[in-house]
A and B are shown apart, each in its own frame.
Chain A
Amino acid sequence: MLTTSEWSALELSLRVGVCAVAASLPTAIPIAYLLARGAARASWPIQAIRWLVQLGVDLPLVLPPVVTGYLLLVCLVPGGPIGSVLDRWFGVRLVFTWWAAALASAVVSFPLLVRTIRLAFQNVDPRLEIAARGLGAGPLDSFFSVTLPLARRGILAGAILAFARCLGEFGATIMVLGSSEGRRTIPLAIYSLSHRPGGMERSWRLVLLSVGLACAALIASELLERRQSLRESA
């Protein structure tokens, strides 16, 4: 059904997406929780920090992905601020590897992840946490046994949405991954085919695959969010 290069594009896309989301979840959840629960009457330095965090998290949502990719590339090349450290200390060079693609996808999809999870946390009644604390649970205990389970569908929905965004990531990925045979995600493979005479006709399977994956992810995310809000209203 698919050719070898199409399979490898699908495999790489899925791998990049899964790793990007899995790696960002542990950071996204606490940030989303802090943004959701930060009290409106907090002192101004705390408010300012929240604004800055919010700004930093949301920036990749509105930045052109190519700009995100450019900044990542500048930082990651062996002469760059992060790349030189990685190279010297660990002998790791990320540019042109799929790790760099996963990092780019993680950065670009992070705002979607945080926003969806933040909404899920906001939908959890804070009085439940207060009750848990009143019954003797510590802050971590109440978070893990009350808040997190109640928000789990929203978190899953956010993860799926971010995953779908990763599948569509192009601008930042092409900057840090380049476009080499056997190292192309689905969008990169379509782009590179479109550059070759006769390539447009050969890319329709990948195009269909993309549309299908995106629809599936959106539907799954939508269903989960709907069930979450139904539960809240019930």
Chain B
Amino acid sequence: MTVHSLTIAELARKLRSREVSSEELTRACLARIEQHNKPLNAFLTVTADAALAASRVADKRLAAGDAGPLTGVPIGHKDIFCTDGVRTSCGSRILDNFVAPYDATVVARLKNAGTVMIGKLNMDEFAMGSSNETSYYGPVTNPWDRTRVPGGSSGGSAAAVAARLLPAATGTDTGGSIRQPAALTGITGFKPTYGRVSRYGMIAFASSLDQAGVLTRSVEDAALLLEAMAGFDPADSTSVDAPVPKYSTLLEQPLKGLKIGLLKEFFDKGLEESNAACVRAALDVCKRLGAELREVSLPNLPLSVPTYYVVAPAECSSNLSRFDGVRFGYRCKEPKDLMDLYKRSRGEGFGAEVKRRIMTGTYVLSAGYYDAYYLKAQKVRALINEDFRRAFGEVDVLMGPTTPTPAFAIGAKMNDPITMYLNDIYTIGANLAGLPAMSVPCGLVNGLPVGLQIIGPHFSEAKLFNVGHLYQRETDWHRRAPAGYA
């Protein structure tokens, strides 16, 4: 087994025992990227020189015995996180020339923890998409089948981790953008509770939903990364001031007596039978581990997609008003007046899906329509939230599929936004209610990965990691590599 297929936990042991150096590891990742990135299109920027320099610093710390569990571990960042001195494009033409003047808190914290940033990863433009096809830099392909999408919006992160170009990457999840690509590429994806991780320096899409998280090859790795990323940050007004448990030390609690709720609404007619079979098999594993299963109904959950497609576009139309061609980003050629400058810089700088969402948001917020759409959606959101609250009075965690189908073909859903939006039908609920949620690989259907989704109450990250870790101890789906990338 070569280093590129190892998890962070395994690499950390090898780094500490000096079996491998961080520089060797970094060079191995850079070689993998050189060899495999082109057809995958996962990396937008590779920061090779800075990475090698950082790896040498890490090696000194390791030699001095002054190393944490992440020291010397190479990672990548979704190109939505600002990285000081490195182009931060958000997958958009409008930020194609934007060099971030500071580090996002997530980036800074992971840097302080000793990780080595290898580069920036492709994504749907402004994180708006479920297939990575809306990126200005072209689609990312799925390493399991390169005619298919890797999911989105953190598609570059997912493809790079699944193809063993690097052990882990950051992502963001507004409606499923970590969990859905993790499911479609056979890796672990974790979205924490709203407010758990600082969003300072993370380019905003929908502020009442956005949360940063990780894509990894094991639950244990996700726990290791989150305990370094999470925690209060005064620079983010939504950051929650609560202590961060040491998740990686809480992975072994036996599941005996754990009450698992099966989301009745998720096992609906939209769910492909082969996907459902994988999820049921995963539930059987949990049962064998001593968990109790019961069906739980969240009657308002089917309204989560239309609710989301009011709330998220409304917030995006407001957040993206800052891109105006004046202080940073793309400016159109020869504007004839200020209005022309705004309109053409934005019209030429934003891609089709981003413009569609800005216009949807503008419409639902406009006078005369605000109550009918936005206010109504916020009320339905309260109903969905109440459904979850009630469910967590009865069970410890909820389980169901992450997606209705395995990865679909590139181009298959690009002409019909509603069909594309419905791909996130099982993931959006957790965002609307601000809940932590995770996807772990639970099977293969015709050679394509399927994800099991686990959702918990607010701040139950430790429980989710615990459940996911014990599940992964019993199964080896998370160890499967796509053919040609082992």
**Are A and B a genuine interacting pair, yes or no?**
no
Interface residues of B (CB under 8 A from A): none
